[in-house]
Structure formats: structure tokens, C-alpha cells
Amino acid sequence: MTEPIQNEEYISAITDTALPNNWSVTRNDRFTVFIPGDGVVGDTVRAHVVKRKKGFAYGEIIEIIEPSPFRTDPPCPHFGICGGCIFQNLQYEKQLEIKKNYLMHSIKSIGGVDISHISMEPAVSSPDMYGYRNKMEFSFGENQGQLVLGMRERSSPFKRFSMQVFPIEQCLIFSERTSIIVSIIMKFLTERNYAAYNVFKRTGFLRNLLVREGKNTGDLMVALVTCAGDIPDIEQVYRSLKDAIPALRSFYWIINEKPANAVIIDDVKALYGDEYIEEELNGLRFRVYPETFFQPNSRGAELLYSAIAEWANVTPDSNVLGLYCGAGAIELSIARSVKSVLGIDSHPVNIETAHRNCEVNGITNCTFLAGRVEDVLKTVDTKDYQYIILDPPRGGLTPKAVRYICRYKVPQILYVSCNPSTLSRDLNLLYAEQYRIQRIKPFDLFPHTGHLETLVLLAKEEI
């Protein structure tokens, strides 16, 4: 426990969770105190202030005086250490309520948008509470001189993020196959004395293990991410995995020479099996490669894409722009209802995959272009398109992108967001261009985490 500030002990109910972090919101007699950790909304706690800031403070729980009625037992043995899930100890209905309130607060406080006259639609629950993720990136590290494979620890305002990796045997939000994969990979690597890469010292070899799984097809991809070097008998680990999991369809070796703590691909080697796995969404088949952007919750994505098709006010004569299209899942989902679709994405691999996905599904009215949205839209005639669908990364839209998008003066825009903060900022910019919210619906594609997907329908207001 961190050393408390003298005479700063207090008793408070936890009234909220400050997303996207796992910080419980309490209050002493002077200011709001955020408490990192596993407190739950509705807990009454004895706590102390540890670190003061201007206008607020950070604290720690000394004891839970009265547990919340919303508390539940977390099923994962790694909960509380892992930086992934923050809500496994909270009833799911309360998770949805907190996320929805966070979305509404962000739109009002960051976006400056009055939504009091807009009825936010009920949040769509994930079809699966656990085992929903189709992609995981595990990290290699060292613990007391021993190689470990797992997840990085939670960040804390009390200490510098050390990027410490703690070992895992399973990941409940990913796949039941996790324990088999981890066991085989670790046996192979520890027997050969490979060392984990150290971000601070820039030494070592092993970096990450990337695993992708088709939730509706069962296909499995495993990719070992290392620095440049050699693994003479790597086929052996592939054979062991294939024997244990016959659905293993693709095995890669990825080289990452960048110093950053992220899966950055410098060189891709498709060693065994196919170069891709396949996933099926709403009757369409999609090829997925190591670099492909694809919604991490396959069955939740089916609900989201069905809602997009329902909300989009398009006709067989409509020409649609799909911006930040990834591998084209949204574009292919509406292609048979419109005349044409143009998808734009900055990553050439996504564009190449989108073209292949069109071929696989026999879709001929989609075109895809690689490049930054801000650059490509300079060359696209504004008169040619009547509808725009946006699905940007977590950073949202740039002001320049908003200006180019608004030049088209389309009657309606559909915005798919994975970040309430940047969505709210962008709504402020779109409101300045006379676009107004017509419908808004949260989709919980990330149960037990602080993340939320949101679908917003905006219409151009006539002046």
C-alpha cells in the first residue's frame, strides 16, 4: 500500500467509474478522489488520499465497509493485475449503464452538444460475455530471470508504467485454446533459452505472440513476433500446435525492429499453412491476415453491421463513400443495396484484402483506394456520392478530414466510433457544418473493459 498523506483518511460511497480507466469516483469533504483498483460502484469504502492534484486527488481503499449490491465474483484468476478487463467484478447491466453515461457525458462536455432532446437508444449487449475477442496480442517478458508470456500490468497514477509482463494460462475474453497455445509455445522457447525483448535496454529477441481466431469458422492463426534473428527449428512448434489444434490454418513469423512497445510489422513470413484465415459475418466471408483491421468481436460486429444496413437511407441508385474502411466489412455489407461503394483506407494491406474479399463474395460494385482520407478525397468528385459512412481509428477524424467530408454536403452521415472522447470532439466539428444527430446507439463490443462502440446517424440541417 502506498504511503498515505497524513490526516487524509475518509469514508465515501463509490458513485461512478472514471472511464476509460478503472478509477472509482469518491469524494472527501473537499474534493473528488479517484481510486485506481477494483472498487465497484455502490461500495462504501474507507480510503485515504495518496496524491493531490489541482482540483482533485488520487487515493487508495483501506477497507470495503459495505460491498456494493452490484458486485460479482470475477471468474478470471488474472483479474486485478491484467491491464485488459476492469469490470469482471461488476454486474453486466451496471457495466452498460456506466458506459452509456460516459458516452452521454462525453458528448455534452467534450462535444458541447445538447442531446437532451435526443433519445439515446438502449445499448446493444455483446452476444458473448466471454470468449468474444477474435484477436489477442500477448507479450513476452521476464520474471525473476525466467521467460514469461502474458499480458502487461495495469497502469497506475502512483508509479511509472514499467511494462511488466505477468504470465497467464488462459484469457477468458479470447479463447479456450489459449492455454494450449501458450503451453506449446513456452515449452518450445524455454527449452532453447530465448530471451524476451527489453524495451528500455533494447536487448533480447522475443516480443509478442499474435493470435487470431474466426469465431464463426473456427480458423486459427498464430504469429510469433521477434526481433531479427534466427529460429532454426521453428517448424517443430508449428507441428506441435497443428497436432494439438487441427484448426490451425496459418502460422507466421513476424520481424519487428522498432523500439516501441507495439506489434509493428517490418517483415512478414508466412511459414506454414495458408496466408490467411477466414471469418464469416452475416453470410459474407472475409479473409483475415496478420495486419488486417477487423472488428475484434465478430458476433457483435454482425449486430453493428445489420444496424448500419437498417439505418442507412440508401437506394439502389446510391453511391456510397466508406472512409477508413479497413478490410471492407461495412462496405461489402451494404454493397448489394446500392449502386456503388468506394472505400478508402491508409493501409495498403487493408485495401488489398478488401479487394480479395469482394472476389470471395462475388461483389463487383465496390472499389477501394489506398491513401489518407484527406489526400484521396481531393481527387474524388463531390457530386458523385450521396452517402458517407465513417469508421475511423481511436484517434478519430482530423479537422482537415472533416472539412473534406463536409464538402460533399451529403444528406446523411453514419459515424461508427470506438472512442467516445474523439467521437464527441468530431461531433462538435460536424455540428459547426450543420450536421445534427438523428439517432445514437451504443454497442458493447468489449464486455468487462472500459471500451465502447457507438453508431451515430447525422443529417444535414437545411439553413
Q: d(Cα 245, Cα 223) in Å, to the nearest integer?
A: 15
**324 among annotated binding-site residues:** yes
Q: d(Cα 337, Cα 351) in Å, to the nearest integer?
A: 21
* CB-CB neighbours of 112 under 10 Å: 12
**391 among annotated binding-site residues:** yes
Q: d(Cα 45, Cα 29) in Å, to the nearest integer?
A: 14
SS (H, E, C) the chain: CCCCCCCCEEEEECCEEECCCCEEEEECCCCEEEEECCCCCCCEEEEEEEEEECCEEEEEEEEEEECCCCECCCCCCCCCCECCCCCCCECHHHHHHHHHHHHHHHHHHCCCCCCCCCCCCCCECCCCCCCCECEEEEEEEEECCEEEEEEEECCCCCCCCCCCEEECCCECCCECCHHHHHHHHHHHHHHCCCCECECCCCECCEEEEEEEECCCCCCEEEEEEECCCCCCCHHHHHHHHHHHCCCEEEEEEEECCCCCCCCCCCEEEEEEECCCEEEEECCEEEEECCCCCCCCEHHHHHHHHHHHHHHCCCCCCCEEEEECCCCCHHHHHHHCCCCEEEEEECCHHHHHHHHHHHHHHCCCCEEEEECCHHHHHHHCCHHHCCEEEECCCCCCCCHHHHHHHHHCCCCEEEEEECCHHHHHHHHHHHHHCCEEEEEEEEECCCCCCCCCEEEEEEEECCC
Q: Tell me whether strands 23-27 and 16-18 are parallel, antiparallel or unpaired.
A: antiparallel
Residue 244 · residue 180 · CB < 8 Å? yes
**317 among annotated binding-site residues:** no
- The catalytic residue positions are 418
**426 among annotated binding-site residues:** no
Sign of CA dihedral 264, 265, 266, 269: positive
Among 98, 30, 208, which residue's Cα sits nearest to residue 442? 98
**For residue 412, which phi and psi values (nearest 5 degrees)?**
-140, 150
Among 245, 418, 209, which residue's Cα sits nearest to residue 324? 418
Q: Which segments are annotated as binding site? A: 295, 324, 345, 391
Numbered residues of the known binding site for S-adenosyl-L-methionine: 295, 324, 345, 391
